[in-house]
Structure 1
Amino acid sequence: MIDVVMLGSAAFLAGLVDAVVGGGGLIQLPVMFSLFPKEVPATLLGTSKLAGIFGTGAAAVNYARRVRVAWSAAAPAAMAAFALSFAGAYTVTKVPADFVRALLPILLVAVAVYTFRKKDFGSVHAPVHSGNAERMFAVAMGAGIGFYDGFFGPGTGSFLMFLFVRFFGFDFLSASAAAKVVNVACNLSALMWFGYSGHLLWQLGLMMAACQVAGSLVGTKLAIKHGSAFVRRLFLVVVSVLILKTAYDAFVKW
């Protein structure tokens, strides 16, 4: 029962954080690995994806009801991400991810410094692309992020938000809404692979999914109520934690 409470609490917090800025895996996965040390890592990752797709999907629906989602950018990015996630998942079985593991904290530091120095970054929603140009940028971004999510994964939601703000001119709230759509596509693609290969604990995943949905509903309400400034602050906090976690994984743990 204590394990169930810990997992449920972790899933709730993961859903809350993920709904606002992404990075819920930072909370959920360590708890799962600590409670199931003998379980195959792929099974825990697959089970986490099962819970995550419900939480992210609930957040996407909640945003769509209250915030104008830029479907012209989000939809093509999601389709490209779905397709390339498979390619990334296949590639990681053939090529070691050590280079990406070492590069990731450096990229995250650049994202954090850029966001921190530009005080008005993501405060105003002023899209800079339209029509074919917007679709082309969205497909390129979705393909790159989808491949990365399938190949490695940490920080996918945060990278998506940063790219939507930096290269599409979205404010942080609109970027968060669009990122959830792309995240659902990435999670669905990965979940199909994990399900096909049998790496899923269905009962555990569905229990955590219910907690994630509850957390995501709280997270989207907080984001919508407090606006882009709140999302920006939490974004910087999550990216900072990601920097520490990925640097440890890259240069200490390994």
Structure 2
Amino acid sequence: MFNIVFLCVAGFLAAFVDSIAGGGGLISVPAFMLAGLSPTYVLGTNKFSATTASLTSSIKFITSKKVNFKILKFLIPFTLIGAYLGVNTVLSIDEAILNVLVLVLILFIGIYSLFSKSLGLTNNFKGINKKNMSLGILLAFSLGFYDGFFGPGTGSFLIFGFINIFGYDFVNASGNARILNFVSNISSLVLFAIHGRIFYAYAIPVAIFMILGAQFGTKVALKKGSKLIKPIFITMSLAVAGKMVFKLFT
């Protein structure tokens, strides 16, 4: 009983943070590990609960008109293809090298966002053109693939990409990133389910509390805007980097 209560509280907090700026896995994954699940069940169970919450957050951003389907209708298929290939590809890159590469990128994002005073605070979206759509498709495919087999920092990369490619502020970037992140999550969730790596006795109650956390977090993000999202985004980006540094030296 204690495990379920602990996981539900952790799930609520994880979904609250994740719906605003990404990085919720930093809270939920260690919580599932502390509950005694094996690594594959940790990932599968967390993916089930987090994907359910992600759907709720996505719907809220959609109904608040912070999602641009004129862009996403082109990006979603590439995210799906990338995620499918990522899940089913035998990696030729050594994981240690990949860890270092991702660490450098996520540190760059966190530090750049910290020192850029104007980044993501105003919505400078000017419309769709060949350049930003081409870069958007590359972003969608690459991060779909990345999320399919690895995953840490995917939400942060997507938000940063939408700000720099399309000129969105943090609120609109978070809304569009949430949809792509949800799409890429579906592929790996299906795989975990097929292989029976979801512990539903934990996954279902945690999913309920993650849905509540996602609703609350999305509501706060939409109400408070980019000035709230930016510091949380920077904090979670640097926290992901910190976790990866710890992993490298342990």
Q: Aligning the two structures, in what range does the TM-score lie when normalised by the shorter sequence?
A: over 0.9
Q: CA RMSD in A?
A: 1.6
Amino acid at match of 1:56: S
Instruction: Give the 5 Å matches for 1:140-159.
Output: 140-159=138-157
Does residue 29 (structure 1) correspond to residue 24 (structure 2)? The answer is no
Which one of the candidate residues 168, 181, 184 is aligned to 1:170? Answer: 168
User: Which deviates more from structure 2 when the two are superposed, residues 117-126 or residues 131-140?
Assistant: 131-140
Contact kept, 8 Å, 1:32 with 1:44, in 2: the verdict is yes
Name the count of aligned residue pairs.
Answer: 250
CA distance in 2, matches of 1:35, 1:88: 28
CA distance in 1, matches of 2:41, 2:91: 15
Partner of 2:13 in structure 1? 13
Q: What is the CA-CA distance between 1:133 and the residue it aligns to?
A: 4.2
Aligned-residue sequence identity (percent) comes to: 28
1:42-63 Cα offsets, whole Å, 9 max, x none, are 2210111100111111001011
Which contiguous aligned blocks of 4+ residues in structure 1 show a shift greater than 3 angstroms? Answer: 92-96, 131-135
Gaps of 5+ in 1: none
1:110-147 Cα offsets, whole Å, 9 max, x none, are 11221122101001111255155444322211100011
CA distance in 1, matches of 2:81, 2:199: 25
CA distance in 1, matches of 2:48, 2:74: 23
Contact kept, 8 Å, 1:46 with 1:194, in 2: the verdict is yes
Contact kept, 8 Å, 1:92 with 1:152, in 2: the verdict is no
Partner of 1:209 in structure 2? 207
Contact kept, 8 Å, 1:100 with 1:152, in 2: the verdict is no
Counterparts in 2 of 1:128 and 1:248: CA distance versus 1, 3 Å: farther
CA distance in 1, matches of 2:88, 2:95: 12
Which one of the candidate residues 189, 197, 200 is aligned to 1:199? Answer: 197
Amino acid at match of 1:207: P
CA distance in 2, matches of 1:50, 1:96: 27
Instruction: Give the 5 Å matches for 1:58-97.
Output: 58-92=56-90, 95-97=93-95
Gaps of 5+ in 2: none
Counterparts in 2 of 1:95 and 1:243: CA distance versus 1, 3 Å: closer
Instruction: Give the 5 Å matches for 1:175-190.
Output: 175-190=173-188
CA distance in 2, matches of 1:51, 1:58: 11
CA distance in 1, matches of 2:93, 2:136: 27
Amino acid at match of 1:27: I
1:66-121 Cα offsets, whole Å, 9 max, x none, are 13311122333222112111211223566542211122221112112211221010
Partner of 1:127 in structure 2? 125
CA distance in 2, matches of 1:93, 1:109: 24
Name the TM-score, length of structure 2 as normaliser. Answer: 0.94
Amino acid at match of 2:239: V
1:178-234 Cα offsets, whole Å, 9 max, x none, are 011001101101111111222111232111110110000110111011111111111
Secondary structure of 1:123 counterpart? coil
Which one of the candidate residues 95, 104, 112 is aligned to 1:106? Answer: 104
CA distance in 2, matches of 1:40, 1:64: 36
Q: What is the CA-CA distance between 1:41 and the residue it aligns to?
A: 1.3
Amino acid at match of 2:116: K
Partner of 1:139 in structure 2? 137
Contact kept, 8 Å, 2:66 with 2:176, in 1: the verdict is no
Partner of 1:238 in structure 2? 236
User: Which deviates more from structure 2 when the two are superposed, residues 105-114 or residues 149-158?
Assistant: 105-114
CA distance in 2, matches of 1:59, 1:134: 25
